Structure 1
């Protein structure tokens, strides 16, 4: 029966049945199975009679009848004091036979008073028993238990609701305290089924009812909220059924491969610049946002407050404007003024500003009226008063991000910036971002306002901006062009100009706004993908920026944008690179000659390092290497530390060593760093590949790498992750790694050991089918005269860098500089390369040969 029933569920799901229809079918199936086993147990132990002191109860999801095909069956046997022995015999048969059938069963046996007492002390037990449903046995016993539970809950409603809300907060922290997760748990993450269930449980504590329709009739839930919750529930329960059917097991996590499969199965259409999976997830986020919004207000309206506080809310309220009232906890609009009030954008913005300023909640009825009005309001150009109020809000930093989130939930931002509607719940399915476009944009504003209390250089630059309005507006709309075929920066820049003109900004402000959106990725591209010691790169960037004011705006914008991508993305390493780019570019604007500045700085640092070296006649090799070092290398260490390293390197080279490798724990980036200096005796091609292969053979993952030439030396630096020693490795581990690197460089013919296999306990990688962006190889011969810039875009995986390096060596490509970094799970590596004769790689046929070789190496073809 169970097998056939689940197969019937599968067919219904594939036919597109409603979620509640499927849940009813599963619940009926479970009822039939449980009652068959119950009747068999009664036949076995009591000759077919039902003992008078027993009642079989379904609770939890089974009691609610919203089961998915592989859900657990939660059962409780209520026994009277005189029927305990009978209950134990029945319980043994039930728990044994139901498990043998193949059901996952949660089973308990309680006396009525015991079950109630446990409910008052444990919110998990309480929430499950509120959903109790009579199945078999003594209806009298069940009714007595449930009425005791109902009346006891209403008497204890305050403490129970507080414990329910605390337990839910803890659960959201474990499963996702945002409704914009890439891989949500549709049951337990914020905005999931659990929030709908929370409304039922709070309703039971306050009114003794869990049924949402009954709560509607009691006035605890509005008609609009009821309809919306029912719509969202149907979507979520259908989605949960789909997960169970596809996985053939209980599954509530909506992972990325499954998102793609469901989007196709449910026939979501793609669109211009939008994948079907992105359209599907946009609807999911819309549903979870609605659930979160309604559940939050329901909990707030019914949270325990003393009668005195509720009375004082009205008695102590004061008028703060036409029709607006403010009490100790809430602000609201009087009922007679509400219809006219919600149609006025300036007045709504003023209410939001006052609520934000005083830290008050907006009363639910007022909030709901505003949200409904904004959804129904026809798009039209905002009036000057509305624009002025909005720009006034953007000019302030205090609590700006929470205010923008409120305005976004109320659809107010869409009234002022219609283009923002396209971003609502838009998930770019490329793993660059942790959040949807709208959530990321508001998070970027939040990140920049946090600079105000930061004592770093970025914080000082943010505080120096007298008028922060343009910066905040640019961050809010910087990704507004995503979801279209054309480059999102170009689309966004056009939209930014239109927004600036609609807001009637002055011509100069419109130009800056448009430029910031167009160039918001420029600083990241230069800092993370190019050699900052190359004057040509800096000069091109400086020309693109144009002035110190624009430079400061762009740098603050770029760092805030990076911080908002996801947790841990803005590393100390990246911040250091951005700061380096800022300082170099600013010096150019101040001095006007980037080449003179480079030479002057290089000479100054060399002189500082030389002070810590013996005289040139005693340490000739160290002095020679020092004056060949590029500025980027000179700036990486303190002068005294660099002097010590140079002496050690020179000593080994003078003794005949061809390679020197040393370990360094970088406190600035909190990263393990290996430095490899090699003097090639012949052909340089392939040296880098052997270095990378040596680390790979030791089971070490390369996070970043930079390679450069220092005179006749190859100077390569690797920032790595050592799975065996995540903090600082012991001396014997360091010695082993260094020995292998030096051995592999000393004997170019020696085969590399195979990579040591390890169990991975790190983050789970997505399967290849979710990698929707193509692997790309791009050639650039325009930026630099001397080198071809080779950019490789691909998804990160084990051995990625080694395959690239080996392929370049096999293709006789000479590598002069590399910058390697991982952006979430996607890699954008940049290599400065030439032919073996030192010429740029310019012939189309040669470029195609290299591109094909790299793609074959990366895709395993």
Structure 2
């Protein structure tokens, strides 16, 4: 047993077995008292040992395997002492029969000799046949003692026959027993069990491998099916510890290896690959042990708040443009990528071993027609290299490998991937080679499946070597709650989305881009722009400006002409323009459209920018794209396209209002007098601001209200993926902030608001509302609560502050991110309004608090636009003074800025005076 824990130094400092055994021997009393006293001694020893492990990990924060082995060693000592005490003092068997034999084994990860501080203690009790009363007493007593120690125990009690039968029928039990290790008890019985397991269970490696791979695929799917999710699961996630364990299990089952190092002798890994295996294993165990110690429980998800603390514990340091937590997570993802590469190579060897028995593991059948392979070879349907020095002969072949795989629709043999990863640095001297650049551009702009082949190229390290700027963002996380993937994974996903849109496979989600794609002339420039749009992240400056510089330098090397290079650089420089305009500005304000069109300048650039914007948002992660964003971008696109095509002087404000009014009259079917009365009541800006379908809904609500002073409409608005809440009420100061508070108290999240006042003094306000996860606010109970909440708020029934403070924080993890509140005031963005943009940490009732501050500043809010980017909220208000003019006085603007900053920065919810 000692040899298993040779890497644990000063073991007596962890657990002084001799001293504790002597104290246990001195205990006296009846069984119940003895067990309690022994448990107290063992618990003290457990706490001392855990504290020593934590101290050592703090002193040497990267020694993960040592910490994991130390925890297993500590558990071994506790269990063996407890077993001896139970069988010798509590339930001694003076004359045991052959059936009264018992052995205690460690199984699973504990059997392997690796445990995190709060891992389950997985043990098994084996008896030769049916359990005897003596064995039942021992097992029961030990389990109660372990539970009293505060340990979470995974246990089983089986006879040898039951063990064999259950192991045959359940791959999970089979895997746990595969790592079984003798702890204490009857050793001959253990040896008999091990021999029977090997002879009767461990005899169909192909079925076991297939089961483990299917289990792995299901686990990956559950965990997000990417090793680049920004809050990974260290144990179960793709590229995590469980993937490394699966390799060892398969090697042990197939080749009977006892330690991971023996995978080299079995020919499954080279010595260099085992070093990578060991390095990844050690790092991941260190992270997992730190996680458990921080959480004080079994916690395997590396959430944002823990990332910060572990980065500090593991002594990562800030660098220009990259924080310590980003550097830590980049290293984490590089290790996860290593795990994926090792898995591919490992399975390739197994594939060769079991080739004669059937189809390849987890890989589809591929057509085997004759192809031109340019010196490459086909090996069981996969693209392979003819010799190990193939890339050394001509390093451009490193790119040809991937280009050929793309053109021929072939998978690349893992051993060819291994050679490409080993030789990737050879491409450094061929970055300017026209052949190499042409091959790379062919893959990037492939009409087939560029995402898959680019991901292979990235996994092999060829991508980052050939495009060093891309290499800088490989495995680089973005430490926020908005981006779900690392920069390289986000970029490759965006390219894949663009390809699927081009082929019409996402027409339902993206009808606008699907429709305009055939009109795009600069297709090649668009794909390059998607590649480069985030390439300068992590450099300590504006990544859009820095990325445009990269584009101007890189595009000529790739073979793009001057015009294409200019287009790519422009797209990278302005890739955030369209989303910022659509989500943070009032699209009914014609100056917004004019300013946007002035930057865009041409219909072709507008089409390109729209496509880039859509795939950039969609590739951020699940749930970031919705109907509301689609509608806003479509509105901006069509408005800007009209300006670029006709010029803003060719279609005036009056003509647009007249056209909307005519369409509304046709839809309503009202007579002239009735419709004219409605038109006279509504101010000119209202007709510009609202889309035609909202005009119809508002008109019908006003008609239903009649002479009533309050009417609330709430209905799902599927075109925008939200619920439209319309308030028709007697106007009075503070109405907006009260309604905003009521909507939040009812569980709603306001994403857009337009505020209007009729000429006879009625407020007509339209709010778009979603639930906290971005879906329409549409349940009958929700809508009922919302209506009654607004009525109570306007009638001043009950204190709004009490209702708001009772709401739980929807995003408690946001506290992990430092966000300084900021207020930007722009008097040039609109001809009629002062535009105020507030950046702040997203939190409950933020909009209510900001509107409250504006109410106290005695200004009129005409529209409010809410955008959220994970933990960050950006709220934009279009304001005038009480006379309807822009706010021009500097002192007045400074007062507004001060109040908004206080509202945005404060976590406490305050009531307006």
TM-score (norm 1): 0.92
Measured in 2, the distance between the counterparts of 1:209 and 1:594 equals: 80
Q: Does the 8 A contact of 2:725 with 2:768 survive in 1?
A: yes
Deviation at 1:738, TM superposition (A): 3.5
SS in 2 for 1:335: coil
Corresponding residue for residue 13 of structure 1: 57
Deviation at 1:354, TM superposition (A): 2.6
Corresponding residue for residue 10 of structure 2: none
SS in 2 for 1:777: strand
Task: Summarize the alignment of residues 378-393 of structure 1 with structure 2, pairs less than 5 Å apart.
Answer: 378=428, 381-393=431-443
Measured in 2, the distance between the counterparts of 1:446 and 1:725 equals: 24
1:37 to 82, 86, 93: 82
Corresponding residue for residue 767 of structure 2: 718
**Distance change (3 Å), C-alpha of 1:283 and 1:464:** same
Deviation at 1:409, TM superposition (A): 1.2
**Distance change (3 Å), C-alpha of 1:135 and 1:294:** same
1:410 to 449, 460, 463: 460
Measured in 2, the distance between the counterparts of 1:856 and 1:51 equals: 80
Corresponding residue for residue 344 of structure 1: 395
Measured in 1, the distance between the counterparts of 2:798 and 2:208 equals: 71
Deviations 1:761-780 (A, max 9, x none): x9653052x12232211111
Corresponding residue for residue 61 of structure 1: 109
**Distance change (3 Å), C-alpha of 1:506 and 1:835:** same
SS in 2 for 1:321: coil
Deviations 1:36-89 (A, max 9, x none): 111112213335788763322111111111112222211112211277444323
Q: Count residues in correspondence.
A: 847
Corresponding residue for residue 67 of structure 2: 22
Corresponding residue for residue 668 of structure 1: 719
Q: Does the 8 A contact of 1:316 with 1:327 survive in 2?
A: no
The yes-or-no answer on 1:374 pairing with 2:424 is yes
1:218 to 244, 251, 266: 266
Measured in 2, the distance between the counterparts of 1:817 and 1:269 equals: 44
1:330 to 343, 359, 382: 382
1:793 to 817, 839, 847: 839
Q: Does the 8 A contact of 1:51 with 1:137 survive in 2?
A: no
**Distance change (3 Å), C-alpha of 1:573 and 1:339:** closer
**Distance change (3 Å), C-alpha of 1:496 and 1:758:** same
Deviation at 1:573, TM superposition (A): 1.0
Compute the RMSD of aligned alpha carbons: 3.0
Q: Does the 8 A contact of 1:705 with 1:821 survive in 2?
A: no
- Out of 386-395 and 821-830, give the one that drifted further: 821-830
Deviation at 1:466, TM superposition (A): 4.8
2:161 to 109, 113, 118: 113
The yes-or-no answer on 1:495 pairing with 2:550 is yes
Corresponding residue for residue 276 of structure 1: 324
TM-score (norm 2): 0.87
**Distance change (3 Å), C-alpha of 1:706 and 1:122:** farther
Measured in 1, the distance between the counterparts of 2:281 and 2:779 equals: 55
Q: Does the 8 A contact of 1:319 with 1:325 survive in 2?
A: no
Task: Summarize the alignment of residues 500-515 of structure 1 with structure 2, pairs less than 5 Å apart.
Answer: 500-515=555-570
SS in 2 for 1:485: coil
Q: Does the 8 A contact of 1:435 with 1:565 survive in 2?
A: yes
**Distance change (3 Å), C-alpha of 1:51 and 1:572:** farther
SS in 2 for 1:840: coil
1:623 to 664, 675, 679: 679
Corresponding residue for residue 652 of structure 1: 705
Deviation at 1:128, TM superposition (A): 1.1
Deviation at 1:240, TM superposition (A): 1.1
Deviation at 1:249, TM superposition (A): 2.0
**Distance change (3 Å), C-alpha of 1:748 and 1:69:** closer
Task: Summarize the alignment of residues 97-136 of structure 1 with structure 2, pairs less than 5 Å apart.
Answer: 97-136=145-184
SS in 1 for 2:728: strand
The yes-or-no answer on 1:432 pairing with 2:477 is no
Measured in 1, the distance between the counterparts of 2:683 and 2:856 equals: 33
Task: Summarize the alignment of residues 677-826 of structure 1 with structure 2, pairs less than 5 Å apart.
Answer: 677-680=728-731, 685-708=733-756, 714-721=763-770, 734=783, 737-738=786-787, 741=790, 744-745=793-794, 752=800, 754-755=802-803, 765-768=812-815, 770-826=816-872
The yes-or-no answer on 1:395 pairing with 2:395 is no
Structure 1's unaligned 5+ residue stretches are none
Measured in 1, the distance between the counterparts of 2:618 and 2:541 equals: 25
Q: Does the 8 A contact of 2:769 with 2:776 survive in 1?
A: no
Task: Summarize the alignment of residues 53-92 of structure 1 with structure 2, pairs less than 5 Å apart.
Answer: 53-81=101-129, 84-92=132-140
Q: Does the 8 A contact of 2:348 with 2:413 survive in 1?
A: no
Measured in 2, the distance between the counterparts of 1:416 and 1:471 equals: 20
Corresponding residue for residue 321 of structure 1: 373
Q: Does the 8 A contact of 2:823 with 2:836 survive in 1?
A: yes
**Distance change (3 Å), C-alpha of 1:172 and 1:257:** same
Corresponding residue for residue 173 of structure 1: 221
Q: Does the 8 A contact of 1:379 with 1:418 survive in 2?
A: no
Q: Does the 8 A contact of 2:425 with 2:465 survive in 1?
A: no
Task: Summarize the alignment of residues 515-526 of structure 1 with structure 2, pairs less than 5 Å apart.
Answer: 515-526=570-581
Measured in 2, the distance between the counterparts of 1:185 and 1:335 equals: 39
**Distance change (3 Å), C-alpha of 1:741 and 1:134:** closer
The yes-or-no answer on 1:163 pairing with 2:211 is yes
Structure 2's unaligned 5+ residue stretches are 1-44, 909-913
Measured in 1, the distance between the counterparts of 2:700 and 2:136 equals: 82
Task: Summarize the alignment of residues 816-855 of structure 1 with structure 2, pairs less than 5 Å apart.
Answer: 816-855=862-901
- Out of 715-724 and 145-154, give the one that drifted further: 715-724
Corresponding residue for residue 523 of structure 2: 468
**Distance change (3 Å), C-alpha of 1:685 and 1:778:** farther
Corresponding residue for residue 242 of structure 1: 290
Corresponding residue for residue 6 of structure 2: none
Q: Does the 8 A contact of 1:154 with 1:204 survive in 2?
A: no
- Out of 426-435 and 603-612, give the one that drifted further: 603-612
Deviations 1:70-110 (A, max 9, x none): 22211112211277444323222221222223322222122
The yes-or-no answer on 1:549 pairing with 2:604 is yes
Corresponding residue for residue 39 of structure 2: none
Corresponding residue for residue 34 of structure 2: none
**Distance change (3 Å), C-alpha of 1:694 and 1:424:** same
Measured in 2, the distance between the counterparts of 1:506 and 1:358 equals: 28
SS in 1 for 2:553: helix
**Distance change (3 Å), C-alpha of 1:568 and 1:306:** same
Deviation at 1:225, TM superposition (A): 1.6
**Distance change (3 Å), C-alpha of 1:613 and 1:689:** same
- Out of 249-258 and 538-547, give the one that drifted further: 249-258
**Distance change (3 Å), C-alpha of 1:380 and 1:355:** closer
Q: Does the 8 A contact of 2:716 with 2:778 survive in 1?
A: no
Deviations 1:262-299 (A, max 9, x none): 11222211111211111111111111111122124323
Deviation at 1:215, TM superposition (A): 1.7
- Out of 446-455 and 42-51, give the one that drifted further: 42-51
SS in 2 for 1:252: coil
Task: Summarize the alignment of residues 290-309 of structure 1 with structure 2, pairs less than 5 Å apart.
Answer: 290-302=338-350, 305-307=354-356
Deviation at 1:704, TM superposition (A): 3.4
Deviations 1:660-709 (A, max 9, x none): 421222121342221123453xxx64231122133234444334333345
Corresponding residue for residue 648 of structure 2: 593
Deviation at 1:730, TM superposition (A): 6.9
